[in-house]
Amino acid sequence: MTKQHANWSPYDNNGGSCVAIAGSDYCVIAADTRMSTGYNILTRDYSKISHLAEKCVMASSGFQADVKALQKVLSARHLTYQHQHNKQMSCPAMAQLLSNTLYYKRFFPYYSFNVLGGLDSEGKGCVFTYDAVGSYERVGYSSQGSGSTLIMPFLDNQLKSPSPLLLPAQDAVTPLSEAEAVDLVKTVFASATERDIYTGDKVEIVILNAGGIHREFMDLRKD
Amino acid sequence: MLDTTALESFPSLISHGINVAGEISAPPSFQLPNSNDFDGFVKETIQMVKPAKGTTTLAFIFKEGVMVAADSRASMGGYISSQSVKKIIEINPYMLGTMAGGAADCQFWHRNLGIKCRLHELANKRRISVTGASKLLANILYSYRGMGSSVGTMIAGWDETGPGLYYVDSEGGRLKGNRFSVGSGSPYAYGVLDSGYKYDMSVEEASELARRAIYHATFRDGASGGVASVYYVGPTGRKKLSGDDVGELHYHYNPVTPSTVE
Q: Closest by alpha carbon to B253, among B262, B244, B243?
A: B244
Q: Are B136 and B113 in contact (CB under 8 A)?
A: yes
Quick one: pLDDT at residue B97? 94
Q: What angle do CA A50, A52, A56 make, to 5 degrees?
A: 100
Which of A108, A133, A167 has its CB closest to that of B33? A108
Q: A10 to chain B, minimum CA–CA distance in Å?
A: 9
What phi-psi label fits residue A15: left (phi over 0), alpha (psi between -120 and 50 degrees) or beta? left
Q: Which residues of chain B lie closer than 8 angstroms to A10, CB-CB?
A: 33
**Residue B149 counted as domain residue:** yes
In three-state secondary structure terms, A83 is: helix
Which of B21, B40, B104 has its CB closest to that of A131? B104
Mutation test of the interface with chain B: which of A97, A106, A150, choosing the one with the most B Cβ atoms within 10 A?
A106
Give the count of beta carbons closer than 10 Å to the beta carbon of residue A24.
Answer: 14
Q: What is the end-to-end Cα distance of chain A in Å, rounded?
A: 48
Domains of chain A: 17-220 (3.60.20.10)
Q: How confident is the model at residue B48 (pLDDT cuts 50, 70, 90)?
A: low
**Residue B247 counted as domain residue:** yes
pTM as predicted? 0.86
Quick one: average pLDDT of A156-168? 85
Quick one: pLDDT at residue B43? 74
Q: Are B154 and B166 in contact (CB under 8 A)?
A: yes
Is there a contact between A163 and B52 if contact means CB atoms under 8 Å apart? Answer: no
Quick one: pLDDT at residue B15? 44
Residues 42-101 of A with CB under 8 A from B: 80, 99-100
Q: What percent of chain B has pLDDT over 70?
A: 88
- Which phi and psi angles does B49 have, rounded to 5°? -75, -30
Higher pLDDT pick, B60 / B79: B60
Q: Are strands A56-62 and A49-53 parallel, antiparallel or unpaired?
A: antiparallel
Q: What is the pLDDT of residues B197-207, one digit of tens each?
A: 999 999 999 99
pLDDT at A5 over 80: no
- The span from the CA of B102 to the CA of A109, in Å, is 14
CA distance readout (Å), B12 to A74, A75, A84, A98, A107: 18, 19, 21, 22, 20
**Residue B103 counted as domain residue:** yes
Is there a contact between A166 and B243 if contact means CB atoms under 8 Å apart? Answer: yes
Quick one: average pLDDT of A3-26? 91
Quick one: pLDDT at residue B52? 45
Higher pLDDT pick, A169 / B136: B136
Active site (catalytic) residues of B: 55
Mutation test of the interface with chain A: which of B48, B57, B71, choosing the one with the most A Cβ atoms within 10 A?
B48
Mutation test of the interface with chain A: which of B44, B107, B214, choosing the one with the most A Cβ atoms within 10 A?
B107
Quick one: pLDDT at residue B42? 77
Closest residue in B to A133 (Cα) is B104
Q: Which residues of chain A lie closer than 8 angstroms to B108, CB-CB?
A: 99-100, 103, 106, 134
Q: Which residues of chain B lie closer than 8 angstroms to A129, CB-CB?
A: 82
- The span from the CA of B190 to the CA of B192, in Å, is 5
Closest residue in B to A153 (Cα) is B80
Q: Which of A4-13, B181-190, B203-212 has the lowest mean pLDDT?
A: A4-13
Per-residue DSSP letter, A24: S
pLDDT at B54 over 90: no
Quick one: average pLDDT of B206-224? 96
**Residue B41 counted as domain residue:** no
Quick one: pLDDT at residue B250? 95
Higher pLDDT pick, A174 / A222: A222
CA dihedral A57, A63, A64, A66 (to 10 degrees): -80
**Residue B31 counted as domain residue:** no
Q: Which residues of chain B lie closer than 8 angstroms to A102, CB-CB?
A: 104
Is there a contact between B108 and A99 if contact means CB atoms under 8 Å apart? Answer: yes
Quick one: pLDDT at residue A208? 97
Residue A58: which residues within 8 A CB-CB, separation 6 or more?
A29, A49, A50, A52, A71, A74, A98, A114, A115, A116, A117
CA distance readout (Å), B62 to A38, A64, B98, B136, B164: 57, 52, 18, 25, 10
Q: How confident is the model at residue B12 (pLDDT cuts 50, 70, 90)?
A: very low
CA distance readout (Å), B197 to A176, B71, B189, B240: 46, 20, 12, 20
Q: What angle do CA B257, B260, B262 make, to 5 degrees?
A: 160
Q: What is the pLDDT of residues A59-90, one digit of tens each?
A: 999 999 999 999 999 999 999 999 999 999 99
- Give whichever of A216-220, B30-34, B81-85 has the largest mean pLDDT: A216-220
Q: Is the minimum CB–CB distance between A160 and chain B shorter than 8 Å?
A: no
What is the widest separation between alpha-carbon atoms in chain A? Answer: 65
Q: Is the minimum CB–CB distance between A1 and chain B shorter than 8 Å?
A: no
**Residue B239 counted as domain residue:** yes
**ipTM, interface predicted TM-score of the complex:** 0.90
Q: Closest by alpha carbon to B66, among B175, B183, B166?
A: B166
**Residue B231 counted as domain residue:** yes
Q: A211 to chain B, minimum CA–CA distance in Å?
A: 31
Count of structural domains within chain B: 1
Is there a contact between A165 and B227 if contact means CB atoms under 8 Å apart? Answer: yes
What is the widest separation between alpha-carbon atoms in chain B? Answer: 89
- The span from the CA of A37 to the CA of B42, in Å, is 23
- Which phi and psi angles does B213 have, rounded to 5°? -65, -45
Q: A62 to chain B, minimum CA–CA distance in Å?
A: 11
- The span from the CA of B229 to the CA of B240, in Å, is 8
Q: Could you tell me the residue range of the domain that residue B209 belongs to? A: 56-251
Higher pLDDT pick, B46 / A191: A191
pLDDT at B22 over 60: no
Is there a contact between A104 and B8 if contact means CB atoms under 8 Å apart? Answer: yes
Quick one: average pLDDT of B49-74? 86
The mean pLDDT value of chain A amounts to: 94
Q: A26 to chain B, minimum CA–CA distance in Å?
A: 22
Quick one: average pLDDT of B148-173? 93
Instruction: Read off the CATH number of the domain in which B178 is found.
Output: 3.60.20.10
**Residue B48 counted as domain residue:** no
Is there a contact between A134 and B7 if contact means CB atoms under 8 Å apart? Answer: no
Q: How confident is the model at residue A109 (pLDDT cuts 50, 70, 90)?
A: very high
pLDDT at A169 over 90: no
Q: How confident is the model at residue B69 (pLDDT cuts 50, 70, 90)?
A: very high
Q: What is the end-to-end Cα distance of chain B in Å, rounded?
A: 74
